[in-house]
């Protein structure tokens, strides 16, 4: 029978990565750019865990995924603080309108 | 194994559909809520890959933490009364071409490579991974574990410092 293997998970993560990259490149809103980054990190995690399940990496792939999740949480907190500051300064969060480092 | 295939395809479709909504939706609120379904689908994929601890962590941190942060970010940076929530995308055509090329390359590489796939966990003897992860954190991965805790502390302080409302400086 046609059974789900390693390749299926890899293709799924490739699609998720491409969607996330598309969001990062095309969206104007800074928060939507952050959501695209989260999609990319999730696709990387799927890869790590798929290789840890189907390869000989027993638990190491899952540990890498744990660290990715930790860094994603830290990144989201700091990035949203920066976005809030940008909004306070410029009254917009559109990344194509913010082209000054300082008011 | 037929059942597992069906479950995989259902959740893969859920992930792809909701991720497309995140990327293509006009309304940013729809994007934020579609992200919820993407995270749930990814957690289900982790369960299929016998990573139970990771699935629960995904639910707790992504759905419980990051998604709530995103929703707060959406609500704090938009005037909800005036309708500027709808956002138009930019650079559609070049982005579509380049990202279609990237996706084609990735999928081509993934499907043509002869992976040596060894299923390390058999279906009969699925072990919980929490024990193994805890042991690895306190033995081989002790240094990254500690560094990650310091990183989280620094990020916490930094985010609080950045988001704090600045007081006007009084005369000294």
Instruction: Judge if B140 and B87 occupy the same domain.
Output: no
- What CATH number does the domain containing B15 carry? 1.20.120.1200
Overall domain count for chain B: 2
Task: Kindly identify which residue of chain B lies nearest to residue A66, measuring between CA atoms.
Answer: B54
Cβ proximity of A98 and A86 under 8 Å: yes
pLDDT of residue B72: 86
Measured between beta carbons, which residues in chain A are less than 8 angstroms from residue B158? 78, 81
pLDDT of residue A68: 93
Is the minimum CB–CB distance between B136 and chain A shorter than 8 Å? yes
- Is it the case that residue B23 has pLDDT exceeding 50? yes
Distance CA B78, CA A92 (A): 8
- Structural domain including B65 reads 1-112
pLDDT of residue A59: 83
The region of weakest confidence among A1-5, A67-71, B52-56 is A1-5
- Whole-structure pTM value: 0.88
Tens of pLDDT, residue by residue over B72-118, are 888 887 765 545 555 667 778 888 999 999 999 999 998 888 877 66
Phi and psi at residue B27, in whole multiples of 5°? -90, 130
Instruction: Judge if B148 and B106 occupy the same domain.
Output: no
Task: Kindly identify which residue of chain A lies nearest to residue B73, measuring between CA atoms.
Answer: A80
Q: Is residue B120 part of a domain?
A: no
Q: ipTM strictly over 0.95?
A: no
In chain A, positions 57-96, which contact chain B (CB-CB < 8 Å)? 58-60, 62-63, 65-67, 69-78, 80-85, 87, 93-94, 96
- Pick the residue with more confidence: B2 or B41? B41
Going along chain A from its start, the domains and CATH numbers come out as 6-90 (1.10.287.3510)
Contact B8 A4 (CB under 8 A): yes
CA dist B76 to A6, A9, A67, B163, B172, Å?
41, 36, 29, 12, 33
Is the minimum CB–CB distance between A97 and chain B shorter than 8 Å? no
Tens of pLDDT, residue by residue over A28-80, are 888 889 999 999 999 999 999 998 888 766 788 889 999 999 999 999 999 99
pLDDT of residue A1: 46
pLDDT of residue A30: 86
Instruction: Judge if B108 and B144 occupy the same domain.
Output: no
Measured between beta carbons, which residues in chain B are less than 8 angstroms from residue A37? none
Instruction: Judge if B20 and B100 occupy the same domain.
Output: yes
Tens of pLDDT, residue by residue over A8-24, are 899 999 999 999 999 99
- Is it the case that residue B150 has pLDDT exceeding 90? yes
């Amino acid at each position: 029978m046609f059974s789900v293997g390693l390749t299926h998970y890899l293709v799924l993560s490739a699609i998720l990565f491409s969607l996330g990259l598309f969001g990062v490149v095309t969206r104007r809103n800074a928060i939507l750019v952050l959501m695209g980054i989260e999609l990319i990190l999730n696709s990387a995690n799927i890869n790590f865990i798929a290789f840890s399940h189907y390869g000989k990496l027993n638990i190491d792939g899952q540990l890498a995924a744990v660290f990715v999740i930790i860094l994603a949480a830290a990144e989201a907190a700091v990035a949203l603080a920066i976005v809030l500051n940008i909004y306070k300064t410029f009254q917009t969060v559109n990344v194509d309108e913010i082209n000054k480092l300082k008011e | 194994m037929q059942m597992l295939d069906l479950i995989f395809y259902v959740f893969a479709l859920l992930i792809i559909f909701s991720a497309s909504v995140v990327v293509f939706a006009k309304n940013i609120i729809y994007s934020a809520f579609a992200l919820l379904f993407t995270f749930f689908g990814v957690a289900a994929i982790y369960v299929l890959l016998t990573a139970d601890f990771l699935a629960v962590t995904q639910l707790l941190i992504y759905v419980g933490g990051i998604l709530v942060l995103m929703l707060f970010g959406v609500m704090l940076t938009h005037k909800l009364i005036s309708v500027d929530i709808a956002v138009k995308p930019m650079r559609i055509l070049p982005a579509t071409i380049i990202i279609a090329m990237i996706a084609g390359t990735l999928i081509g590489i993934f499907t043509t490579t002869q992976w040596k796939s060894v299923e390390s966990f058999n279906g009969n003897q699925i072990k919980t991974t929490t024990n193994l992860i805890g042991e690895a954190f306190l033995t081989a991965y002790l240094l990254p574990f500690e560094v990650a805790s310091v990183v989280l502390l620094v990020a916490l302080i930094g985010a609080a410092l950045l988001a704090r409302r600045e007081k006007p400086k009084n005369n000294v």
